[in-house]
Amino acid sequence: MAILNLNTLAVTLSDPLFSDLDLTISKGDRIGLVAQNGAGKSTLLACMAGQLDPTGGEITRARGLRIGYVKQDLPDEALGCTMYDWVLAALPPEQADYESWRVDVVLNDLSVPYEYQHRLLSELSGGWQRMAMIAAAWVTEPGLLLLDEPTNHLDLHRIALLQAWMAALPGDLPVVVISHDRAFLDAVTNATLFLRPEQSRFFALPFSAARVALEEADAADARRFANDVNKARQLRKQAAKLKNVGINSGSDLLLTKTKQLTERAEKMEAAAKPAYAASHAGDIRLGNSGTHAKALIALEDVAVETPEGRLLYRTGRKWIAPGDRVVLLGSNGTGKTRLVRMIARALQGDVPGVRCAPSAVAAYSDQHMGQLAEDDTPMQAVTQSFDIGDQRARAVLAGAGVVYRMQDTRIGALSGGQKARLAMLVLRLKNPSFYLLDEPTNHLDIEGQEALEAELIAHETSCLLVSHDRSFLRTVGNRFWCIQGQRLEEVESPEAFLAAEMAG
């Protein structure tokens, strides 16, 4: 049964986002919405929710359809409320008085501890704020659930809780979810919409299988277009030969045939649709200056401590050699970032127990991209640190996805995706032999994540990285260090850690 129908939907804001989009959402559909950053995913969800009017086309909703819509960001007015009161306020006033029990049920289903339910949202982490938004949408008992980046700010355990909660939803409830977490999409969806400016594609498959089907469909389109163009070219060649013969022989019949062949070629060319050509958000490229050192980093049983001096763990004797891509595993708060920062300091100066090869050239990006000054412009970020000249600077910025009109804008005004690509560009320009990457996929779309994976592997880069992205760390890592109790242990794979984190 159709719940919501999109018919030739189009949206243009400052530029066209998408057009000619047809989609039918039926009971039981769990649709992953996938596209590059800035392609209009959130805009499409807002249109479905009735909070934004499309530029063209129409949206038909089932009579009486109630939609639960979870945006990316918590509204400012919610910050002064407790989680419980914010969720209760989502109920109609006439229900809130005698059906407040619904709030208790929903918060319990989402595994929200009682003490968090009665704290101000401004005092809670982004992950718990996200849970409050999901609860406020679900307590209204919607017939369609729209989720915009629901895993943002969630650790692996809470992602697992969210996956389990979604699996327990009524089987006929349709859900549309935007996410850049490929493992999450595979776990919670049964269909995928690849949103494009034109020729959007829908597959009744979860993300990974749909991605394969998309590549096959695009390849088939490319072959079909090439075949049609070739046929039209052959018709024109035949027409040209007949025309010469017809003129030389004075044959009206051959000239008529020439006209017919030309018209067939024109119709075939007009009908031929070129294959989809993606407009990339910008290339992510990394370099590797290389080194002859046997070990880039050596840890001599270093103590990793809190700022107050409390021991978190000891590293034991560890080293990172050229070509090692070490993934640092550990629960939130166990001290992963503390070790990354310690090594970053050691590369700049002397840290007892941490030895760095003199030839090591390091590039460090923290999870907040702190190497980028918010008040600088992208041009300043590049030209003040690297001797490459204005013309070259503008070219490399454009290649990284920072278009000309944004190059003299404050970095603070850039989107998260643009900042992430700029951060990767700044790292590459350092021409490092060793990368320290703390949550590098934050803010990157799926295309950007896959590009970063490919670069790290293709250049045989040496790095120590922290990531909550299961697909990313599985693909990139060739060594794994895991914080276990108060020791840092090397493990064969991340799977035992991931399973334990997901189980809580």
What mean pLDDT comes out for the span 24-48?
A: 93
Q: What ranges in 189-251 are assigned the alpha helix state H?
A: 207-249
Q: Does residue 199 have a pLDDT over 60?
A: yes
74-88, 311-325, 409-423, 450-464: lowest mean pLDDT where?
409-423
b/e burial code for range 202-232 (CB count within 10 A of at least 16 → b): bbebbbeebbebbeebbeebeeeeeebeeeb
Highest mean pLDDT among 155-164, 313-322, 365-374 belongs to 313-322
β-pairing verdict for 201-203 and 191-194: antiparallel
Distance CA 183, CA 196 (A): 22
Q: Can you give the pLDDT at residue 252?
A: 66
Which pTM was predicted? 0.80
Cα-only R_g, the chain = 28
Average pLDDT, the chain: 87
Can you name the residues that pair with 351 across neighbouring β-strands?
Answer: 354
How far apart are alpha carbons 128 and 153 in whole angstroms? 8
Q: Where are the beta strands (DSSP E) in 310-360?
A: 311-314, 317-320, 325-329, 354-356
Q: Which of 199, 178, 148 is nearest to 8 (CA)?
A: 199
Place 247 in a pLDDT band, splitting at 50, 70 and 90.
low
pLDDT at 282 over 60: no
Distance CA 123, CA 470 (A): 28
Helix (H) or strand (E) holding 20: strand 16-26
Q: For residue 3, which of 190, 193, 145, 212 has the smallest C-alpha distance? A: 145
Backbone angles phi, psi at 475, to 5 degrees: -75, -40
Report the Cα 76 to chain-centroid distance in Å: 25
Indicate the pairing of strand 434-438 with strand 362-365.
parallel
Note the pLDDT tens digit of each residue in 45-63.
999 999 999 999 999 999 9
pLDDT of residue 284: 56
Which residue shows structure tokens 């978190």?
A: 312
Crossing angle of the two packed helices 207-249 and 252-271, in degrees rounded to 10: 160
Count CA within 13 A, CB hemisphere, residue 88: 15
Q: Residue 444 has which token pair? A: 């990157």
pLDDT higher than threshold 60 for residue 492: yes
Cβ neighbours for 378, distance < 8 A, ≥ 6 positions apart: 397, 402, 406, 407, 408, 409, 411, 414, 422
Cα–Cα distance measured from residue 371 to residue 369, given in angstroms and rounded to the nearest whole number: 5
